[in-house]
Chains A and B, each alone.
Chain A
Amino acid sequence: MHAVRNLRLCTKDCLCLFVCPTGATDTEDGQIDFTKCLEGCRLCVDVCPSHAISLLPDNYPPQQEKSQPVKEALQALAASKARQERTALAVAQSAESPVTRQLARAAATSAKLCAEECFRESGYMLPQSRETRELLTALRDTPQPEDFPKEAVDRLLELLK
């Protein structure tokens, strides 16, 4: 468990600088230096008057198992939302009125967000999950077009071990 700062909540009271035994909170970018932060120390977390610092687990517990019917129902909804995004994108591209295009872009954005939510709850909440790993492995093991960013998939499989 290492500390991270929510920059939106930080009110620069800088008590973390005062309590941190290693100077991990004293950085140029305002984020806490992971390499200096002491495992589970949490002095800065408790002292911060704005509750802007929290501890981030290095290892997450395994993702909760999802039942197959729930997964399938959510993924069917995600497919439907992705389909709606394509319809909305067509309107956003072809409509004459800028107002129609604006509404279509809002609908496309909304559909995309709903699809993301459905995937999230169907086994893809954690990038460390077995499901994510299987997805990345399937992407790697399938013949892909030339422009496919294969190195991104390889690197992710390496990083998310």
Chain B
Amino acid sequence: MTVEKMRELSSGELSALCSNLAKACTKQFRTEEARLFTQLADYYQEKTTPAQGEGFEELAALVERDLTEGYPQASRLAKEEGDRGALRAVVWGEKVTKLLKSLLARYEKQQDALLEKTSVYVCEICGFIFVGDVPPEICPICKVPSFKLQKIKREAV
């Protein structure tokens, strides 16, 4: 990566890039490196500003663009190149994104009634959002055991 290319990345992208590398270090039991990449990821997360004024409508539009352009394009290229790793990431990401799209559509119709009496989990491996009280034994998208599904708490009113 050149300096120019790196400068084009938003702080949110740099944060994700560094947190990904922190996870990679953890898997290799490189604790100091993991801590340093986490420090960088946190630095860039701090600099990431929420997109003020935007709501679920804007989110749904961005999600739709991934499903019509981003994922089909990446999927085609990964298949052409026989890049199994890339294809795996694209397959999981596309499924996660489709389910998010349907969740946002259901939420738009039913509003809080959809989630009021139930819990919300996110799979730490693939990003799958599960709505329900008892998470499945394995993640339906990436098949990781359920202990990797993290509960998203609801703040007290």
**How many of chain A's residues have a CB under 8 angstroms from any CB in B?**
75
Contacts of B12 in A (CB 8 A): 82-83, 85-86, 115
Residues of chain A in range 117-150 having any CB-CB distance to chain B below 8 Å: 117-122, 124-127, 131-132, 134-135, 138-139, 141-142, 147-149
Asked whether A156 is an interface residue with its Cβ less than 8 Å from the other chain, the reply is yes
Closest to B119 in A: A102
Closest to B5 in A: A138
User: By the criterion CB–CB under 8 Å, are A139 and B6 in contact?
Assistant: yes
Asked whether B137 is an interface residue with its Cβ less than 8 Å from the other chain, the reply is no
User: By the criterion CB–CB under 8 Å, are B24 and A120 in contact?
Assistant: yes
Asked whether B58 is an interface residue with its Cβ less than 8 Å from the other chain, the reply is yes
Asked whether B32 is an interface residue with its Cβ less than 8 Å from the other chain, the reply is yes
Q: CA of A41 to CA of B9 in the docked complex: distance in angstroms?
A: 44
User: By the criterion CB–CB under 8 Å, are A110 and B13 in contact?
Assistant: no
User: By the criterion CB–CB under 8 Å, are A114 and B86 in contact?
Assistant: no
Contacts of B65 in A (CB 8 A): 80
Known: A91-B55, A149-B43, A156-B36. A86 touches B50 (CB 8 A): yes
Closest chain A CB from B26 CB (angstroms): 10
User: By the criterion CB–CB under 8 Å, are B16 and A69 in contact?
Assistant: no
User: By the criterion CB–CB under 8 Å, are A86 and B89 in contact?
Assistant: no
Q: CA of A75 to CA of B32 in the docked complex: distance in angstroms?
A: 27
User: By the criterion CB–CB under 8 Å, are B115 and A102 in contact?
Assistant: yes
Closest to A112 in B: B16
User: By the criterion CB–CB under 8 Å, are A90 and B50 in contact?
Assistant: yes
Contacts of A156 in B (CB 8 A): 33, 36-37
Contacts of A33 in B (CB 8 A): none
Closest to A91 in B: B55
Q: CA of A64 to CA of B78 in the docked complex: distance in angstroms?
A: 14
User: By the criterion CB–CB under 8 Å, are A74 and B89 in contact?
Assistant: yes
Closest chain B CB from A106 CB (angstroms): 5
Asked whether A14 is an interface residue with its Cβ less than 8 Å from the other chain, the reply is no
Closest chain B CB from A20 CB (angstroms): 18
User: By the criterion CB–CB under 8 Å, are B29 and A4 in contact?
Assistant: yes
User: By the criterion CB–CB under 8 Å, are A66 and B127 in contact?
Assistant: no
Contacts of B56 in A (CB 8 A): 91, 100, 104
User: By the criterion CB–CB under 8 Å, are A152 and B20 in contact?
Assistant: no
Closest chain B CB from A89 CB (angstroms): 4
Q: Chain B 1-17 against A: per-residue CB contact (8 Å), 1 yes, 0 no?
A: 11101110110110111
Residues of chain B in range 32-57 having any CB-CB distance to chain A below 8 Å: 32-33, 36-37, 39-40, 43, 48-56
User: By the criterion CB–CB under 8 Å, are B19 and A112 in contact?
Assistant: yes
Known: A109-B122, A159-B32. A124 touches B17 (CB 8 A): yes
What are 28 inter-chain pairs, A to B, with CB distance below 8 A? A73-B77, A77-B90, A77-B93, A78-B17, A79-B13, A82-B15, A82-B48, A87-B50, A89-B51, A91-B59, A92-B50, A97-B112, A101-B154, A102-B120, A102-B152, A103-B103, A107-B100, A112-B16, A116-B19, A117-B89, A117-B92, A119-B13, A120-B89, A135-B6, A149-B40, A152-B39, A156-B37, A159-B30
